[in-house]
Amino acid sequence: MIIATISFIALTVLVAILSINEILPLTVMFICCLTAPAVATCAAYCLYYHIEIKTGKKTRTVIPLTCLAFTVISGVIGLVSYINDHNFILRGLEAQLIWFLIMLPTLVATIVHFIAAYIRNMNELKKLRDQK
């Protein structure tokens, strides 16, 4: 929860900087590329712990699937923004920023979480095979 709070605060500061300056400096892009996967991961862990408390079972795929949902939702939002953009000078810039600053970092987080879940499942299966 601490990481989620820090990510939300950093994201709020990022939005304030963007709205005041109307530019996109490198530090803001760096902060956004770090906060988007952090927020997705923290939301995924919150959902994971909620499911674990309710059912009493460990489900390793909840975290990667939640991050994948964030990736798909941001991709769809970017696609809708790209289709509905009627500005001829900055055609699709908002959509490209959504895809670059939100969708790609959460996609990387999704891939990392899928690999981590796969490795944990293989280690657990190996331990079960060794016990028999």
User: How would DSSP label each residue in 73-114?
Assistant: HHHHHHHHHHHT---SSSTTHHHHHHIIIIIHHHHHHHHHHH
Look at residue 73 in the predicted model and tell me its pLDDT.
Answer: 92
Number of structural domains in the chain? 1
Q: Is there a domain that residue 68 lies in? A: yes
Q: Model pTM?
A: 0.74
Look at residue 20 in the predicted model and tell me its pLDDT.
Answer: 66
Given a cut of 80, whether residue 90 has pLDDT beyond it is no
**Average pLDDT for residues 13-20, to the nearest whole number?**
68
Q: Is there a domain that residue 78 lies in? A: yes
Q: Is there a domain that residue 13 lies in? A: no
Q: Is there a domain that residue 17 lies in? A: no
Asked if 35 and 5 touch (Cβ cutoff 8 Å), the reply is no
- Cα–chain-centroid distance for residue 33? 9
Phi then psi for 26, rounded to 5 degrees?
-65, -40
Look at residue 70 in the predicted model and tell me its pLDDT.
Answer: 92
Given a cut of 90, whether residue 9 has pLDDT beyond it is no
Q: Is there a domain that residue 71 lies in? A: yes
Half-sphere exposure of 61 (CA within 13 A, CB side): 0
Q: What domain range includes position 70?
A: 37-131
Digit-coded pLDDT (tens) for 25-48: 667 677 777 888 888 888 888 888
**Average pLDDT for residues 101-129, to the nearest whole number?**
89
Look at residue 71 in the predicted model and tell me its pLDDT.
Answer: 92
**Average pLDDT for residues 38-66, to the nearest whole number?**
86
**Average pLDDT for residues 7-19, to the nearest whole number?**
69
